[in-house]
Amino acid sequence: MYIVKSILKNIFLNDEVNVVRGDPDRTNIHYSALPSLSKDESLLKLISISEKPIIIFHSSRVSAEVTNRFLLSRMESTDIVYYHAGLTKDEKQSIEEWFFSSNTGILNATCAYGMGIDKANIRTVIHLNAPTSIEAYLLFKKIVIYSILVKVVAF
């Protein structure tokens, strides 16, 4: 409730607005957590049994890049790319165009990619690192509202 009041006060300057609330739980989304002794090996196995395209969310740029290199070295596919705020505008645009047209792509991304995406055929979202706060969790959850999603997995 504090967040709603803060938004009303700071953004709408206490003007009269209609607040529409809904249940954040989506019945078409399956959540699961997998215990793991090796994130890398578990990730490879999960990718092998998951529908694509896949977004793997990371808590840092370094994690996105390191995982991207690991997957490229261990998988036969080269349809694997990373995305984060440190890329140039042209690089981001190129990756966005690639991912939107890809049916088999694997995108290692930070929340920089999650802001405002609307890709209809995302089938799997993996959180390699657990979100650091409730707000971050809800942001990631909001991202997948646009898609029919099979799986959200947090390691």
pLDDT tens across 24-49, in order?
676 777 777 777 888 899 999 999 99
pLDDT, tens digit, 9 for 90 and up, residues 5-14: 787 787 778 7
CB 135 within 8 A of CB 110: no
- Under the banding of pLDDT at 50, 70 and 90, the label for residue 155 is very low
pLDDT at 134: 66
Query: Spelled out in words, what is the top-level CATH class assigned to the domain 26-154?
Result: alpha beta
Report the share of the chain in percent with pLDDT over 90: 37
What is the reported pTM?
Answer: 0.71
pLDDT at 138: 62
Domain ranges of the chain: 26-154
Residue 82, strand partner residues: 108
Dihedral over Cα of 72, 48, 44, 56: its sign:
positive
Nearest residue to 131 (alpha-carbon basis) of 122, 123, 140? 140
Looking at per-residue confidence, does 94 or 138 come out higher?
A: 94
pLDDT at 150: 33
pLDDT at 63: 94
pLDDT, tens digit, 9 for 90 and up, residues 76-85: 988 999 999 9
